[in-house]
Amino acid sequence: MTNGALLTNRTWNYKPPGAKDIPVDFRIRLIQTGENQVGVLRSKATGEPAMSMGVVVVFALRYALRSAQKDAGRPDDWIALGSAMTPEQIFLKASNACEQYTLK
């Protein structure tokens, strides 16, 4: 597409950009005199809030895993999480037993 439309606007079709995705002719122009009156301390970037809030995912996952362990009758121990938690690793960290998933 050449009109600049965003093609990766959903989780299923989002592909992280790679080195070959940078255009050959990539020209930018920075605003020299613009002031952002509504930004925090007149900031012009948006990267810091996203970086700061990224840790929320880890905290939410740890909270959910501790809740699952509590429901399974396991002790409320600290859960060490790595940087790449796959669904299988999350399931194993929850310490659930197959008996928990039977209908009564």
Find, among 32, 36, 33, the residue nearest to 46 by Cα. Answer: 36
For residues 18-43, give the mean pLDDT. Answer: 75
HSE-CB at 102 with a 13 A cutoff on CA atoms is 4
pLDDT category of residue 15 using cuts at 50, 70 and 90: confident
From residue 32, give the alpha-carbon distance in Å to each of 29, 38, 65, 78: 9, 17, 49, 50
**Which residue in the block uniquely carries the two structure tokens 């501790």?**
66
Per-residue pLDDT reduced to its tens digit, 52-84: 777 888 889 999 999 888 888 888 888 888 878
Residue at token pair 């960290």: 93
- Between 69 and 39, whose confidence is greater? 69
pLDDT grade for 46, boundaries at 50, 70 and 90: low
Reported as a pLDDT band with limits 50, 70 and 90, residue 1 is low
